[in-house]
Structure 1
């Protein structure tokens, strides 16, 4: 269940992720691309590829690092929505990539720890890279 607090935390994480991605040369194309079967947090362009980015933000590591919450079911859902985006924008044949941005706010630090997992998974192999 998505609560207002969870939504606020997610929005804050996405804003931080966008800043981080821009700083690293990504061009933001769209935020929160929604379809009936799911959503993609951020869609970008990076070095010739369309990149679909899932952002995970956590304030506690009790359930592990944020990136591990991108489950196989979530990866399949992202791939489906990305396929719809590609079809709707008539971008067939373009290079695409699936990245994950992990944002963790440690309780004892003021600043978030941000990790970028490039090519975290593919549409053919949905295993999350452990980099």
Structure 2
């Protein structure tokens, strides 16, 4: 399910006109799901996918600790890059799959949460 959610999120940002710079970048401290460019803005995207209705929106599963980890990992990723990004933003894309048909991409609800901060 996680891979399906990440694929849906990647398709969503591509339709927005963004360029995917990297998917599933990881090091020993964690992972960044999607790193994309919206023009000259770098957008680091956490993807949360759920097939149950435990949360009204899967974004509710993104904790303060997760946001801190995203910022730290983003800094580590940036330290390895030669390109300078004048703007950097953290977003969440939540994917709510239909519990009865979790693999049906057409039934998935995609929500984009822009500039998530603690």
Structure 1 length-normalised TM: 0.80
Instruction: Sort the Cα spacing of 1:107 and 1:93 in 2 relative to 1 into closer, same or farther, 3 A.
Output: closer
In terms of mean alpha carbon deviation, does 103-112 or 73-82 score higher? 103-112
Q: Look up the match of 1:82.
A: 74
Ranges in structure 1 where 5+ consecutive residues have no aligned partner: 1-8, 122-126
Aligned residues: 114
Q: Residue 66 of structure 2 aligns to a residue in which SS?
A: helix
Structure 2 length-normalised TM: 0.88
Ranges in structure 2 where 5+ consecutive residues have no aligned partner: none
Q: Look up the match of 1:114.
A: 110
Conservation of the 8 A alpha-carbon contact between 2:47 and 2:94 = yes
Alignment of 1:6-21 (within 5 A): 9-21=1-13
Match of 1:43 among 11, 35, 52: 35
- Post-superposition CA distance 1:19-60 (Å, at most 9, x none): 111011111000001011111000000132111000000011
Q: Residue 119 of structure 1 aligns to a residue in which SS?
A: coil
Match of 2:86 among 91, 94, 97: 94
Bigger RCO of structures 1 and 2 (CA < 8 A, at least 6 apart): 2
Tell me, in whole angstroms, the C-alpha distance in 2 between the residues paired with 1:90 and 1:70. Answer: 30
